[in-house]
Chain A
Amino acid sequence: MKASQQYLLVVAGMLGAIAMAPGCSDDDGTGGNGGGEGGGGGGSSFQVVPAPGGVRRITGSQMRYSLEYLLGAQAASDFEVWGDPQLHGFESIAAAELAIGANDVSTLETEVTAAVTTSLQDVSTLATFAPCVQNAPSAACYEEVATQFGRVAWRRPVEADEKERLVNIANMGQTWGAGDFDVGLKYELMAIFQSPNFVYVSEIGEGEGSDRPLTAYELASRMSFFLVHRTPDVELLDAVEAGKLATDDGIREEARRMLLMPEARRSLDRFFSELYLIRDITTISKDQTIYPQWNEALARTMQEEMLRFLQDVVWTRDADAREIFTSESTFVNATLAAFYGVTAPSSGWTKVEIPADQGRFGLLGKAGFLARFADVKRTSPTRRGRFYREKILCREIPPPPPGVDTSLPEPQENQTMRQRLTAHREDPNCAGCHSLIDPIGLAYEHFDTLGQYRDTEDGLEIITADKSGDLEFAGPADLATIASDGAAGCLVKNFWRQSTGHLETEGEEDALGRLESSFADNGYSLQEMMVELTVSQAFKRVGDPK
């Protein structure tokens, strides 16, 4: 890191000079994991009070990926069951809190019927769980399906009464279908996939009380939905039954096995896409009179670039995750090569270094981020700054006070965005928060509404040096360093939220602190962090059902 890229920490006393509106402070907002060192060493004070248990609804995408594993890609390809809303930035949290509506139950039936019907055209995937559907398709096979296939779909052994009901439905179906085995199978599968035992992931735990272990099956499900975004595979269930999840090393071994699967990459893509809002770049409008080149293909290219960049850090090189914020390399195809002014690959994608004078560091220098956090017609330092504080540093920013005119003065000739935004910093209603947000976003003013580099803002000089609360920086390079130094805890926290389906609680602070420490000890390997997350006390245990 160059000397010029170092940032200065302004001592807290200097903050007094900044007019803070009520409700806006530069609290580092860590709450959950503090600095990490607190519980890090696993000292005697280490204590975990697990979050409440209960059930989480399987998300629509988890359902689709589970069907893909259970019935084959063809059957799952058009499966679309519910819209997967997010709470606190994650679908998994919404799935833990929200109920489904009456119409969703009908949609589930419709979609399951379609997927099951398709799957019967090629039962080879199904036969890997219940071979009899190919070898011995007779009435006796219905019980094998309930036992073997049901175990994987429901993530636990199917109990006798449940099995009996499934077989009855299959028999009824076969009779109705004039003896056709497949007809009985179809209705048996429909029953399996509409059951709450498929739709709701149990995290109730064993025994009673406010601190109880998840059952080994529940732990396997929690791991599997986190690491590969679908139902546990047969190997994992076998590991459960062999008692392998009883020890941390056994859990680690299974977690590492799962991380080798292609599904783990897809799962992590989804995580980043959700966390950094990469997935909605394709829904952003730009003024077509100013940016005629903005179209869906370009937006998708930007998404792919960001994901390829992240995959390179995590999977290809298993590198220090802080490179996500500091690396000056990226991936381009011909379109993006022109965008960044680098040599285009002869075909496909290639890894390149972006010219240093553009000041593009990590994710925050990527076109996709810069375009996503801009307005329809112009840049939005407020949005970029808010993203940086909230998504990278986990420092929450309160909303504007009510009744405040949030519009900016109309742009005047010879006025930079920085000058326009001075209104935010002069109005005492706005200054408290905007003095924390806008300066960060203004450091990215060399990137226009689409994320293209510009030397000047319509001929006017762009000033990037500024400060935001306790952060002082000359420009994007310093902000990259600040992110690198401060983002690890936030990243851990977001993995926690996504994997457990809840915001971190006070009782989980020590566990998160320990996880952050081990993240550092392991050279900020995200792969290792994910493994260690699965052995965390707070991951393996729950409180009373909510």
Chain B
Amino acid sequence: MSRSRFSLSRRAVLRGSVGTGVACVGLPLLEAMLNTNGDALAGGTPLPRQLVVYFIGNGFRLDQLEPATTGASFDLTPELNPLMGVEAYTKVVTGLQNWCAYQVTHHEGMTAFNGYTMAELSGLYSKAGGPTIDQLVADHIEASSDPSPLIRSVQIGISRRTSIMDSGTTMFAVSHRSTNEPLFPKFNPQEIFQLLFGEFEDKPDDGELRLAIIDSVREDANKLRARLGSVDRERLDAHLDGLAQLEEKIKTLPPVCQPPEMPSQTNPEGVQNEPLTDVNEVMAELLVQALKCDVTRVASVQFIGGAAETVYTEIGQNNAHHNNTHNGGAQAEVHEGVVYAMGQVATLANKMRETIDPTGKNLLESGLIMVGSDCSEGLTHSVSRQPYILIGNLRDSLVGKYHYQSVPKSGNDGSLTASGNTSDVLMTVLKAFNPEATSVGDMTARNLQGGWYGTGNPPNQAATGSNKVIDELLGPAFGG
């Protein structure tokens, strides 16, 4: 950024004089900055669009999830029914194959968010093979927006229970910027509040000093960096990126916006029943306010981790949802659990639909929630037919309601038909944000190492990544 320190940024202009101690004024965000057509900001920067990846571990009941018909009109199924309030924005993608080269259970399913086979795989240990879709989108936003949002991306966790059998980073973070830069979720709403809105607080105007510290820290970092090997340099560079974000946060006054109140919910650790519904509600509210205020445009929410021991006590269950998925006799409970989790997605989606931005669009018209899991059918943990639910239109880059199915479902749950590539969905989402994008994930074709769930023999070679866009999902902005 070439902007000089304390120059009057867009936000400063809107906010008025510096150091008045007023947390906000009533001017609507962005309004003053729209061009005359209202389709971009005055500087030509595109209007804000948002991505929230919402993760629900341990799969679904496909017979209760996949709509019976395809195309623009389909009936919501029992597991989609909680989304009825946002039906017009809901796209369902079914039938695709996840081409992760190795399968160990759960880990390969996370490939559905980045298109890379896991790194350093050993037993139930792995790291992510590459950046996840939310981080690719954050990269694009950072490169194409001036100013960028204060926070590049935020990672939210709801259930604190995580897998007790898995290790590494893959199963513990939905978002990864690189193999060694997992972005772990924060589970405490107060911490999320502090991160998103801490700069709104009325506090001493010591920005100049904080920036001087950052300069000094950066000099220390560069001095240290010269003595390091490549692995540690990469780590220090990530730290330097964080310093740059902090610097921007300090230089740029917070957007004009009414920050929410600090929540009282802390999502405490403990053996007691987890207050999942309330935590999700509070987190969704914080996130929606942050999106509306343009504090951030990218988030991931981990509702329940893969293989996590979360018990849905609030709907009367007393066994872990993950245990239920593995139990052929508990599939009714699995279904109830999935419906409950989808209801949590709906909490966020409905809030986004109800929230109107200064261009008169609601946050589902401007943004997108991408819902996915680490497997398709919970019972088998298969990665064939791993579904996605896309809620939102991204300012007409995506169509409204649609069911795209690559191949009809047949076969029993242990050998599901599948075709296409789950990474095609990642490519489609990336394309919707960045029309220049050409591929996502690892494009190297390789032999699959067992675990083929599809019918017939597996192809000899397949790439985990994709360069194929699902045209049916592209909206009017692409002439769709």
Contact = CB atoms under 8 A, between A and B. Distances in A.
B154 A103 contact: yes
Given A99-B239, A399-B104, A400-B105, A172 B209 contact: yes
A190 interface: yes
12 contacts: A83-B186, A89-B167, A101-B181, A101-B182, A101-B184, A101-B242, A105-B242, A109-B246, A176-B208, A196-B217, A283-B269, A403-B451
B342 interface: no
A165 B222 CA distance: 14
A99 to B, nearest CB: 4
Contact of A195 (B104, B165, B217): B217
B371 interface: no
Closest 3 CB pairs of A and B: A105-B242, A402-B451, A402-B103
B209 A173 contact: yes
Interface stretch (B110-118, B321-329, B362-370, B399-407): B321-329
Interface in A372-411: 375-377, 383, 396-403, 405-407, 410
Interface string B233-274: 011111101110110010000000000000000000111110
Given A165-B216, A165-B219, A102 B182 contact: no
B168 interface: yes
A402 to B, nearest CB: 3
B239 A100 contact: yes
A280 B164 contact: yes
Interface string B129-162: 0000000000000000000000110110000110
B246 A98 contact: no
A169 B213 contact: yes
Interface stretch (B27-35, B65-73, B224-232, B469-477): B224-232
Interface residues of B, number: 86
B239 A204 contact: no
Contacts of B227: 204, 545
Contacts of B249: 106
B177 interface: yes
Given A109-B246, A196-B221, A283 B181 contact: no
A197 B235 contact: no
Contacts of A200: 224, 236
Contact of B326 (A104, A109, A405): A405
Interface stretch (A237-245, A289-297, A320-328, A484-492): A289-297
A83 B155 CA distance: 13
Nearest to A544: B229
A208 B237 CA distance: 23
Contact of B238 (A101, A106, A195): A101
Interface in A70-109: 83, 85-89, 97-107, 109
Contacts of B451: 401-403
A410 B209 contact: no
B123 interface: yes
A376 B209 contact: no
A337 interface: no
Given A98-B235, A195-B217, A295-B271, A289 B246 contact: no
Given A87-B167, A105-B242, A194-B217, 5 more contacts: A97-B231, A197-B220, A402-B105, A403-B103, A546-B231
Contacts of B209: 169, 172-173, 176, 187
Contact of B453 (A85, A199, A403, A410): A403
A454 B271 CA distance: 24
Contacts of A191: 213, 216-217
Interface in B268-325: 269-273, 309-311, 313, 318-320, 323
A288 interface: yes
Contacts of A190: 210, 213
A451 B212 CA distance: 56
A43 B120 CA distance: 35
B180 interface: yes
A326 B357 CA distance: 66
Interface in A147-194: 162, 165-166, 168-169, 172-173, 176, 187, 190-191, 194
A285 interface: yes
B198 A110 contact: yes
B428 interface: no
A141 interface: no
A285 B309 contact: yes
A282 interface: yes
A35 interface: no
A405 to B, nearest CB: 7
A103 B195 contact: yes
B229 A282 contact: no
B212 A169 contact: yes
B398 to A, nearest CB: 28
Contacts of A401: 450-451
B125 A88 contact: yes
Given A103-B195, A282-B270, A289-B318, A376 B181 contact: no
Contacts of A289: 318
Contacts of B231: 54, 97, 546
A377 B194 CA distance: 38
A55 interface: yes
Contacts of A86: 167
B271 A287 contact: no
A232 to B, nearest CB: 18
A467 interface: no
Nearest to A200: B224
A89, A97, A284 — most chain B CB neighbours (10 Å)? A97
B436 interface: no
Given A88-B167, A169-B209, A407-B327, A284 B238 contact: no
A285 B198 contact: no
Contacts of A34: none
Given A98-B169, A376-B311, A400-B105, A287 B245 contact: no
B183 interface: yes
A399 B105 contact: yes
Given A284-B271, A407-B326, A102 B318 contact: no
B228 A545 contact: yes
A100 B242 contact: yes
A390 to B, nearest CB: 9
A52 interface: yes
Interface string A211-249: 000000000000000000000000000000000000000
Interface string B159-193: 01100110111001000011011111010000100
A546 B108 CA distance: 28
A381 to B, nearest CB: 14
Contacts of A104: 242
Nearest to A164: B216
A92 B48 CA distance: 40
A396 B271 contact: no
Contact of B168 (A87, A99, A169, A405): A87
A49 interface: no
B414 interface: yes
A103 B180 contact: no
A440 interface: no
B272 to A, nearest CB: 6
Contact of B213 (A103, A194, A288): A194
B124 interface: yes
B181 A52 contact: no
Given A105-B245, A402-B450, A397 B123 contact: yes
Contact of B245 (A102, A187, A282): A102
Contacts of B238: 99-102
Given A100-B242, A545-B227, A377 B318 contact: yes
B124 A407 contact: no
A57 B236 CA distance: 10
A318 B108 CA distance: 46
A9 to B, nearest CB: 26
B182, B246, B329 — most chain A CB neighbours (10 Å)? B246
Contacts of B234: 99
A410 B220 CA distance: 61
A286 interface: yes
